[in-house]
Structure 1
């Protein structure tokens, strides 16, 4: 089984379904390895990882990323090598951590060494804010050096090495993309953001499309009390489509198919539903519209990122205004 690919603005092809390799429990390097290995056997060819993935812990004074395991990239790279699948057939994304914003090449080389692969397909600036020295270091304000524009200009130089095919950003709003694009020599190939029917970010998706920036959605099945698997409306819609196709369909397949059908890339991370998440369907107009408008249902517009607010209006040391987020009355990201 294979899924379609789309072209980035660099000409590189990226599969529209990937596997998010975040593993939210201590000591799960081997679990990450086995998950990637199994996914490769199923047919996945797109893997999304990051430097030192872990878990977020909001506090009164800091937004700390607790390091639950340090070898995520290593496990992903090892599984790819052990599979025997040619490197050219696998798309790998990893990310620049905030305390390496002052020297993206240093961060990139660390990731390349951990992955132990010939090159990285897509390298993303994980967040726009920089941090001093470590995950608990000072958070630089937008006007302080290194700014995300300075970091981006340094990332552009990585393309000259031939060790990375495309570069992009993550968690960038329309506001911060506009700031970046004013100075950038290279338009980001992608912007990875939280994206699901509870938080569709239609305006951001449309903006990125107008600039030739591919949107990649993390948390496509929801992260904050996600209702998709059991919601009666979605269950009924899945059953209806299943009868038409003469096979079992589950709500998560509708949600992921909606993400792909609207032109975004989805990176689910479920270990339990690897096969089902890999099957993308063509949704009929009525079901697509149902999922597309799901966030309008009272109580269903929600986002994980907005739930990390430590102090009123502050996330990771920046205000929501600095992040460029527009929030609704319940604190959910509108755009």
Structure 2
């Protein structure tokens, strides 16, 4: 395989393959991380209303001096805002200091109350229909819409009624959580995958995995580069490494071309070491199709 630098969305837009993730990046630190990343070649920044750092991400974008038109910016609709996505969109635009989003995602198919309890009186599919309406009526504000944390079951239900096919499904992807059924389904429907937690989150055992370390030594890179490169070598996948440390932000941007055999070797790690870093259990929707997860932190 040859790692891509961009992936084409079903809108025709090009999404940079490697972006800076900002989940768990604290205010203050994230502003600098965004500024530094953009000044050093990154063109893709991912955040979310739920992260509580949209304002700082916006400050980092402004401080970088990089033209907004050169940046692919993603944020996400928070679960408690699913009944009122219009005001939530305006709040995100204001916080980020931008007039438009390149991509707006439904963070989870799980409407919630302001107290972050499952709101089972409201259907997430109605949220998607509201997002579609906003997208179709405001092309100057929304360049693309998509979803996050959607399993095949949820995608199938959405596509039965959707007017707009999601441009992206952002999910956890790494060798111990390959979610191949979701990858295959999205690829068949023209939906790009964005891989979050590509390293397996903080203190991931993948960084000590012998297969990962062998390949890192062979290519003269860090184990993190192998894990990021695994996703970048897939034709329908973009990837979001996260760091607030300058040296790691620079290092994470280095992608190597892996062979098919090496990709298969990395994917096989899941057979002996399976885990997920992000648990949907907190949503209270575990009985509705979310897979079991394990926290590492």
TM-score, normalising length from structure 1? 0.81
For 1:13-35, what per-residue CA distance to the aligned partner results, in whole angstroms no more than 9, with x for missing partners? Answer: 110001011235xxx32211111
Structure 1 position 225, deviation (Å) = 5.0
- State how 1:148-297 maps to structure 2 within 5 Å: 148-159=124-135, 160-161=137-138, 162-223=140-201, 225-240=203-218, 242=219, 248-263=220-235, 264-272=237-245, 273-297=248-272
Structure 1 position 224, deviation (Å) = 6.5
More helix by share: 2
For residues 124 and 94 of structure 2, the distance between their equivalents in structure 1, rounded to whole angstroms, comes to 24
Asked whether the 8 Å contact 1:45–1:90 carries over to 2, the reply is yes
- State how 1:16-95 maps to structure 2 within 5 Å: 16-24=17-25, 28-53=26-51, 70=52, 72-95=53-76
Give the stretch that moved more between structures: 74-83 or 105-114.
Answer: 74-83
Asked whether the 8 Å contact 1:94–1:122 carries over to 2, the reply is yes
For the pair 1:10 / 2:8, whether they are aligned, the reply is: no
RMSD: 1.7
Structure 1 position 324, deviation (Å) = 4.6
1:60 paired residue number: none
Residue aligned with 1:256, SS? helix
Structure with bigger gyration radius = 1
Residue aligned with 2:49, SS? coil
TM-score, normalising length from structure 2? 0.91
- State how 1:315-330 maps to structure 2 within 5 Å: 315-319=282-286, 321-325=287-291
Residue aligned with 1:216, SS? strand
- State how 1:118-137 maps to structure 2 within 5 Å: 118-132=99-113, 134=114, 136-137=115-116
For residues 285 and 187 of structure 1, the distance between their equivalents in structure 2, rounded to whole angstroms, comes to 30
- The aligned length equals 286
Structure 1 position 293, deviation (Å) = 1.2
